[in-house]
Structure 1
Amino acid sequence: MKTKRVKFWAFLLVCSFGLLLYRLADIQLFSTEKFGDEQVNLLEQSVKQQSSSINLTSGRGELLDRNGQSLGKSQVKDIVLFPLIQTIGLPQSFKNLLEAETISLTDIETELKEPTYLSEMIGEEIDSDLYNEVKNRKIPGVMAVERSLLADPEIGQHFLGIVRENPNAYYNRYDESPILTDPKPIGISGLQKAFDPFLQSDNSKKLLYQVDGKGNPMLGLNVRYIGEQDPFYPVQLKTTMDLPIQNMAEKVVDNNGLEKGGLVLLDIESREVLAMVSRPSINSESPYQNQSIVNQMLVPFYPGSIFKTVVAAAAIENNTESLNRTYDCNTNLYGDEPSERKLGTLNFQQSFAQSCNNAFGTIGSKLVNANPQIFEEYTEKLGLLGPVGWTGDVFRYSNFKQFPAEKKGRVWGNKYDRNVEKAIRQTSIGQKDVKVTPLAVANMMATIANNGEKQYVRAVTDILYQNNTTMYTFKANKDNSNRIKSDTALRLQGLLEKVVTDGTGRSLDGLGVAGKSGTAETGQKGAYHHWFAGYFPKQNPKYAMVVVDLYQTDTDAQTYPVYKEVVQNINEMNGVSND
């Protein structure tokens, strides 16, 4: 009996010992790179436990303007202080250098717990002389380095977007386990957010040093540089932004005191965004406070008389009678009381130029009574309701959007309003429930200037590898399946030209501009949305532009001054006279 018991326990011991040996072999030999249900890389994790590091680059992709100039990323010189100096003390030679630069670092030997940039400790950039001195000397625990800073863009903030550290959002966005990967900064707006999956990269560059079991620096081990030079990653986004024009446009907007609103400038032929300005600027400390992160150029607003362009297009193609009669423009929108603006009796062309509400209320009423869907049909033909941003399949991303934050516009808020005379008339002049985005309005003007050719708007033309070879090209995305006739576009061009020469846009006369003004009630007393949308030069048009000053009084609106100054500056850049 005793012999059986001894054999049984001996068997259990052998089995247990065998299991332990197998477990150790699995950890040490068999599953070193994919261990357990979480597929943990034990080699990488062991290195992390035995070392500490500081990033020289985030490894994130870079944004370029249309000419290849870097946007929002800079190379700076800095000095790294390692916890090694806790053990050996701050070298006197380095103290002397700091004193020469009048830099005071109190109790640095005891307070330094991890590798830290000197610039962050003193709150300013490192002097080049100090950097060169440290670089030319071998000072224990101190190293001169060059690093890339991924800062918020100084211009084009809403267009380019910003990046922030948010581990929870990172794991939710990419559905990755915290055990498997370190969270990386993510784009939270603009192109940084739209193209975040492409801009993410593991190719960060670091300075690495060894630590003991308690995390203290080990003496005698040199700091090592890690991060391979990769010819492909991280990628670069070649945006459509024209940096000199963007810079100029932002200065014009700010110098004229436009506080809420902005502008969109498109290249008519390619439908590329050359400049996009949104105000107010992003609050870097609290981006979501007061919705400062929102790009106003992608948000729908009441367009006012801008919408008369849609009504005019519908009338040209469907109701020639409206084009050949006159209208009493001394009466209001409903034709039952005197108008605040006494314009007299005007024909169709004059009514458009002077923005006569009674004329377009009357025309719109006839059009809708004959075809209740006509406004939707012509906003579609002109590409006004959107979204108008480039959309398509990119690798494994179906329906990829370059402007994911772009909102869709609308014509009717209530389907029964098509049967209500006053609602039809209000809708005909871009009030009631009509809302469109500035980007869509700019694209509509480009469509008209390009003889009715519809096309989606691009913000990025290429994704490039590090060696400047092309990873992906976003080709022009045209849509001519449902458009206005070329003759209609030509007639609209004539109407838009008349607005500037003989109508509400006369302050822009002489600059070669054609366009339409709009002043929309907002529901706030004394506050209106002030628009001007058009294109230039009117002969061989190249640019389409919208300027909108939101929630502004009539006397303080800066729409025309901004529009005029931007056009003048672009003309000068192109060597065109402003006479």
Structure 2
Amino acid sequence: MKKRKRIYFLLFLTTIWFGILLYKLVDIQLISTKSYGPINVDLLENSVEQRSHQMLLSSGRGTILDRNGEVLTSKASYDIVVSPTSEGQQVGKRVSQILNLSANKLEKLIKNLDKPTYLSELLTIEIDQNQYEQLKELDKEGFYAVERSKYEDPIIAQHLLGIVRDNPSLYKDRYGQENLLNKSMPVGISGLEKAFDSFLISKEQEKLLFHVDAKGQPMFGFDLLFSGYDNDFYPLKIKTTIDSVLQMKAENLMDDYKMQKGGLVLLDIQSRDLLAMVSRPTINKENPYMQNSVENQMLTRHFPGSVFKTVVAAAAIEQNVIDTQRMFNCSVKIHGDEPDPRDLGELNFAESFAQSCNRTFAVLGTELLAEDEKLFDQYADKLGLIGHAGWTGDIFKYDAFKQFPEEQKGVIWGEESHRSDQNFIRQTSIGQKDVKVTPLAVANMMATIANNGIKKEVRVAERILYNNGATMAAFSQEEDSTNQITPKTATRLRELMQLVTEVGTGKYLNGLSIAGKSGTAETGNNQFNNYWFAGFFPYENPKYAMVVVDIEQSAPSSNIYNVYREMVKYIYEKEN
């Protein structure tokens, strides 16, 4: 009796064990094939990897386009997959004819292969579209003409577009999980690649697959299979407002005039679209964070110097404190107790703006803030100089999405007590002490003035596209009508800025219908200054706002006017 119970018990345990085993088999084979175990292993993909060889066509990451739809962030190329088969050796002569290669050299390379390989990995070669079309028409086993997409750091607009790198810890921090695919999964670490990373990041790699034997040789001939996105929607594309031609010209000018640190910002005034943005120094590709080379200087705060006088002028005009007959002693420094080396003599308000007289604006700033200590803040805000100048809003499932997440806010005061200190007020009035603003914000201020005081945010991305070109989401532009200068004030500021280039500090730009404001700022280090010119053009019908800035320059002068002049001339020539 006891023996029979033991047998029943053993049969019961055996049945339970077989049941568990059967469930596991069903789970592996049928239920959890795409997501097995606590780390969600893709069993199907792993099994394919064990019995097949893979050749990567694309990482599957989305791309960034310029305003005309040209790809900016990855290099599309044509290539040939060459197989170590006898058919592959025989066809070498025809392939070599199409590619203008030595047939003997190509055949020797193929004979020495032990696995299918891209021809570009064997030879330094570029295949054009015409050659690619001819190669596709050849119906031979042993080679396969393909289109590849390879990520490369951008050639132009490095800081704006940004770069991607393999960074598992950043991937986990950003998306709350590890890279379960256990493959290369690059993430954006700067620029638009970082801002739009959640849209661009790869969901699936695009690969060519073929079965191999134990030695890695192709089985069943050379029958290639495609693995990747199985729809027309992904990967996504970000269509920007960048004009690649203008961007390239701006890059070349910065290099031609050896601008070591600084950059250029070019905006379309009406749309407030970013057309070009250059930042120097260039990114250190091997170590982007060395000396912070990855930082976009056009989104970073800098001392603006006399460019800030535009804010003081706007406040003075709207507060009706301007007396056209009033003269200011511009032969003394801001405190009025020391002679100024420039010795400009007695100047009225308009002449003071054109010649950038520090004493005039120190006096006006002190008088304005005696009435309201927050006037500078109010008018800097009206002109879009503080806060974020870049586009911010709700898009898709993201609230308060920022197109320029790396953009720093402008600041005017270091401490609240400085608003009531006349020494600090005088220095602040000429864009010194604690005043720091970004070149992007300064360019937007110029666009606001040129556009009759209408405030808008700067947009660099126009829309997010599906892979088939359909729109997934669009970034609309809206006017900020809550806090603006009046059209009359904007008109008066434009007139003052025209004087700057006609008879003032920017007269080197005379003759090109440019209006604007120059600035030279001390940086706290006696050996270095920031040199600015910010303006708009053409004066009668403004279309463009532009800033050129040379940061922490040790020379007594700068090439900002040369860069500005050449860029404006190029734009005029391009339009005509």
The two structures have a TM-score, normalised by structure 1, of 0.90
Paired residues of 2:330 and 2:340 also in contact (CA < 8 A):
yes
Q: Measure how far apart 1:462 and its partner are.
A: 1.4
Query: Whole-Å Cα distance in 1 between the matches of residues 505 and 375 of structure 2?
Result: 27
Paired residues of 2:390 and 2:404 also in contact (CA < 8 A):
yes
Q: Measure how far apart 1:200 and its partner are.
A: 2.6
Instruction: Sort the Cα spacing of 1:351 and 1:246 in 2 relative to 1 into closer, same or farther, 3 A.
Output: same
Please tell me the residue identity of whatever aligns with 1:176.
Q
Partner of 2:138: 136
Matched residues, percent identical?
Answer: 50
Counterparts of residues 441-452 of structure 1 (less than 5 Å)? 441-452=442-453
Paired residues of 2:81 and 2:117 also in contact (CA < 8 A):
yes
Paired residues of 1:209 and 1:217 also in contact (CA < 8 A):
no
Query: Whole-Å Cα distance in 2 between the matches of residues 184 and 574 of structure 1?
Result: 42
Paired residues of 1:135 and 1:143 also in contact (CA < 8 A):
no
Please tell me the residue identity of whatever aligns with 1:464.
L
Q: Measure how far apart 1:20 and its partner are.
A: 1.9
Partner SS, residue 74 of structure 1 = strand
Partner of 1:196: 197
Partner of 1:216: 216
Q: Measure how far apart 1:553 and its partner are.
A: 3.7
Partner SS, residue 498 of structure 1 = helix
Instruction: Sort the Cα spacing of 1:470 and 1:517 in 2 relative to 1 into closer, same or farther, 3 A.
Output: same
Q: Deviations over 1:367-406 (max 9, x none)?
A: 2222221211111111101311000111111111111111
Partner SS, residue 76 of structure 2 = strand
Instruction: Sort the Cα spacing of 1:23 and 1:308 in 2 relative to 1 into closer, same or farther, 3 A.
Output: same
Paired residues of 2:92 and 2:103 also in contact (CA < 8 A):
no
Counterparts of residues 220-369 of structure 1 (less than 5 Å)? 220-221=220-221, 222-227=223-228, 230-320=231-321, 324-369=325-370
Instruction: Sort the Cα spacing of 1:49 and 1:178 in 2 relative to 1 into closer, same or farther, 3 A.
Output: farther
Partner SS, residue 531 of structure 1 = strand
Q: Measure how far apart 1:157 and its partner are.
A: 1.7
Partner SS, residue 70 of structure 1 = coil
Query: Whole-Å Cα distance in 2 between the matches of residues 92 and 383 of structure 1?
Result: 68
Instruction: Sort the Cα spacing of 1:124 and 1:522 in 2 relative to 1 into closer, same or farther, 3 A.
Output: farther
Query: Whole-Å Cα distance in 2 between the matches of residues 316 and 128 of structure 1?
Result: 61
Query: Whole-Å Cα distance in 2 between the matches of residues 121 and 433 of structure 1?
Result: 58
Paired residues of 2:363 and 2:426 also in contact (CA < 8 A):
yes
Partner of 1:186: 187
Partner of 2:7: 6
Partner of 1:205: 206
Partner of 1:77: 78
Partner SS, residue 392 of structure 1 = strand
Q: Measure how far apart 1:414 and its partner are.
A: 2.0
Partner SS, residue 497 of structure 2 = helix
Matched, 1:164 2:165: yes
Instruction: Sort the Cα spacing of 1:344 and 1:121 in 2 relative to 1 into closer, same or farther, 3 A.
Output: same
Query: Whole-Å Cα distance in 2 between the matches of residues 506 and 180 of structure 1?
Result: 61
Q: Measure how far apart 1:191 and its partner are.
A: 1.5
Partner SS, residue 472 of structure 2 = strand
Q: Deviations over 1:118-157 (max 9, x none)?
A: 32354554699997679837464x5442212332222222
Q: Measure how far apart 1:218 and its partner are.
A: 5.0
Mark the runs of 5 or more structure 1 residues left unpaired by the alignment. none
Say what the alpha-carbon RMSD is for the aligned residues.
2.8
Q: How many residues align?
A: 568
Q: Measure how far apart 1:17 and its partner are.
A: 2.3
> Which ranges of 4 or more aligned residues in structure 1 deviate by more than 4 Å?
88-110, 121-124, 126-135, 180-183, 321-324
Q: Measure how far apart 1:208 and its partner are.
A: 0.3
Instruction: Sort the Cα spacing of 1:563 and 1:41 in 2 relative to 1 into closer, same or farther, 3 A.
Output: same
Please tell me the residue identity of whatever aligns with 2:386.
L
Partner of 2:459: 458
The two structures have a TM-score, normalised by structure 2, of 0.91
> Which stretch of structure 1 is more off in the superposition, 222-231 or 268-277?
222-231
> Which stretch of structure 1 is more off in the superposition, 343-352 or 164-173?
164-173
Q: Measure how far apart 1:39 and its partner are.
A: 4.1
Partner of 1:376: 377
Query: Whole-Å Cα distance in 1 between the matches of residues 234 and 131 of structure 2?
Result: 33
Q: Measure how far apart 1:203 and its partner are.
A: 5.3
Q: Deviations over 1:481-522 (max 9, x none)?
A: 111122111111111111111211111111111100000011
Instruction: Sort the Cα spacing of 1:560 and 1:127 in 2 relative to 1 into closer, same or farther, 3 A.
Output: closer
Counterparts of residues 512-531 of structure 1 (less than 5 Å)? 512-531=513-532
Instruction: Sort the Cα spacing of 1:11 and 1:102 in 2 relative to 1 into closer, same or farther, 3 A.
Output: closer
Paired residues of 2:109 and 2:122 also in contact (CA < 8 A):
no
> Which stretch of structure 1 is more off in the superposition, 390-399 or 23-32?
23-32
Mark the runs of 5 or more structure 2 residues left unpaired by the alignment. none
Partner SS, residue 56 of structure 1 = strand
> Which stretch of structure 1 is more off in the superposition, 273-282 or 100-109?
100-109
Partner of 1:494: 495
Query: Whole-Å Cα distance in 1 between the matches of residues 117 and 372 of structure 2?
Result: 69
Q: Deviations over 1:438-489 (max 9, x none)?
A: 0000000111111111000000111122332221111113211111122111
Paired residues of 1:53 and 1:115 also in contact (CA < 8 A):
no
Query: Whole-Å Cα distance in 2 between the matches of residues 209 and 271 of structure 1?
Result: 50
Counterparts of residues 21-36 of structure 1 (less than 5 Å)? 21-36=22-37
Counterparts of residues 503-542 of structure 1 (less than 5 Å)? 503-542=504-543
Paired residues of 1:201 and 1:233 also in contact (CA < 8 A):
no
Q: Measure how far apart 1:108 and its partner are.
A: 8.7
Query: Whole-Å Cα distance in 2 between the matches of residues 75 and 521 of structure 1?
Result: 46
Q: Measure how far apart 1:215 and its partner are.
A: 7.7
Matched, 1:420 2:386: no
Paired residues of 2:40 and 2:180 also in contact (CA < 8 A):
no
> Which stretch of structure 1 is more off in the superposition, 101-110 or 228-237?
101-110
Please tell me the residue identity of whatever aligns with 1:11.
F
Partner of 2:561: 560
Partner SS, residue 36 of structure 2 = coil
Paired residues of 2:87 and 2:141 also in contact (CA < 8 A):
no
Partner SS, residue 398 of structure 1 = strand
